Amino acid sequence: MFTLCFTLSAQDGVSTGGAHVWDRLLCAIDQFESGQVALDFVAGVALANDASVRVLHIREVPKMGRVLPLESPAEAEDLVRDAVLSLGMRGAASAGRSCSALEDQVAARIVKEAQLWECQAIILGSRRLRGISRLSGRSVRERILRVSSLPVLVAPAAESNGIYWPPRFRSERGHPAVAHGR
């Protein structure tokens, strides 16, 4: 989906016309490589439109109490901090936060955060689900499309979609250097 809002502006008393796209974007990232591709994508959109970016990472908490989340709250905060720093180094104004939500509430939480921050579009990464997961239509992206009135842009899929490890946690081979407790 792509929506343009046309506005007319005046500069020195002369109408310049033009298209105003967005000036506040929400980029929802996950702990997979698709989240990093979404960051690259949102950086391009933000810089092209002089927009600010709100980075949001929701730590998915499984419904079943015996299953641990994929990351700790501190790791989720680090992911957001790295994303905001990365966008800032590219010249995009950004802020961010992480929070936790039950796995079936993630889509609604993303939409709620976009409304609270008064964003005009939501940008997500694409994980390219396979098999039953794809057929069920129960991905976060599909649920956001159903409940949000905002335009939703989906960044191209990552070549592989493993868990993203920030550089400080990688060994020389690119794999995790240490195991982190959850």
Write the pLDDT tens digit of every residue in 126-138: 765 544 444 444 6
CATH at residue 125: 3.40.50.620
Answer whether residue 42 is part of any domain: yes
Domain count, the chain: 1
Each residue of 136-172: b (16+ CB within 10 Å) or e? eeebbbebbbeebebbbbbbeebeebeebbeeeeeee
- Mean pLDDT for 15-38 is 78
Domain that holds residue 28: 23-154
With 90 as the cut, is the pLDDT of residue 97 above it?
yes
Q: Is residue 84 included in any domain, yes or no?
A: yes
Residue 175 inside a domain? The answer is no
Q: What angle do CA 19, 23, 24 make, to 5 degrees?
A: 145
Residue 167 contacts by C-beta under 8 Å, 6 or more apart in sequence?
Answer: none
What is the share, in percent, of the chain residues with pLDDT greater than 90?
44
Q: Which two tokens stand for residue 9?
A: 């502006």
- What is the model's pLDDT at position 13? 45
Q: 128 in a domain, yes or no?
A: yes
In a domain, 61, yes or no: yes
Q: Give a yes or no: residue 17 inside a domain.
A: no
**Is 14 inside a domain boundary?**
no
Position 44 in a domain: yes
pLDDT band at 158 (very low <50, low <70, confident <90, very high): low
